[in-house]
Amino acid sequence: MARKESITIQMILDTAFEMTREEGFINVTARKVAAKAGCSTQPIFRVYKNMEELWEAVYGRAIAYFQDYYSLYPRTGQTPFSNLGMAYIAFAREESHLFELLFLSQSAGEGAHVNRKSMYEVLNGEEGNVVREVTAAREAGCTDPGDLFTKIWIFIHGAACMSLTGDYDLSDQETRKLLEDFYMKAR
């Protein structure tokens, strides 16, 4: 009946996502994606209405990528909080373009941006999680868990953003010590 499709939506999304990882969101243009995928720009606009739709798909893929990254990151710290911090900071260092896209760009869509509140909810579903940790700390007569999580988030977000601009030079060991020390004092 008709010609068989040779460039799938998966190939295009994979290519665009990989380019976002390596070169940053700003460099994901129709022609560059096409060149890297080894085709013309036409298949892109067959499977996506326009570039914005592709960018949104890349954004969704980035969220999933971070969740995988976080869940697979080795838990070497003594507390859920330090493990979260270690993973978050490492993600900013190793996947700076994805970190920028997810946690630093003021996105156009309303509920699209990943922030403190959405992270709190995500972590709530996790086993041995940070939220339970801060709640337990509250019952032990410490700070309000909401406040504590905010303080925690400010700190690890700060370190992560510094690592993004190359302004964070602490080793993993030093970071772990710093985080655990911070948690003990902050709660």
Q: Which is nearer to a copy of itself, 48 or 103 (CB)?
A: 103
Instruction: Print the binding letters for residues 22-41 with DNA: x by CB under 7 A, - otherwise.
Output: ------xxxxx-x---xxxx
Rule CB under 8 A: choose which of 40, 115, 144, 146 binds a copy of itself.
115
Residues 6+ apart with CB under 8 A from 90: 73, 172
Q: Which is nearer to a copy of itself, 12 or 152 (CB)?
A: 152
The answer to whether 186 contacts a copy of itself (rule: CB under 8 A) is: yes
Binder of residue 50, out of DNA, a copy of itself, none (CB less than 5 to 8 A by kind): DNA
Are the beta carbons of 92 and 99 closer than 8 angstroms?
Answer: yes
Rule CB under 8 A: choose which of 103, 133, 149, 176 binds a copy of itself.
103
Q: Where are the alpha helices (DSSP H) in the chain?
A: 9-23, 30-37, 42-47, 51-72, 80-94, 96-99, 116-124, 130-139, 145-164, 172-186
The answer to whether 45 contacts DNA (rule: CB under 7 A) is: yes
Which pair of structure tokens corresponds to residue 23? 């070169």
Which pair of structure tokens corresponds to residue 66? 């971070």
Rule CB under 7 A: choose which of 22, 23, 50, 172 binds DNA.
50
The answer to whether 172 contacts DNA (rule: CB under 7 A) is: no
What type of residue sits at position 18? E
Are the beta carbons of 74 and 29 closer than 8 angstroms?
Answer: no
Are the beta carbons of 175 and 85 closer than 8 angstroms?
Answer: yes
Residues 6+ apart with CB under 8 A from 57: 13, 16, 48
Could you say which residues in the range 25-64 bind a copy of itself, by CB under 8 A?
none
Q: Which is nearer to a copy of itself, 157 or 176 (CB)?
A: 157
- Contact residues toward a copy of itself (CB under 8 A) are 103-106, 113, 115-117, 150-151, 153-159, 161-162, 164-168, 170, 178, 182, 185-186
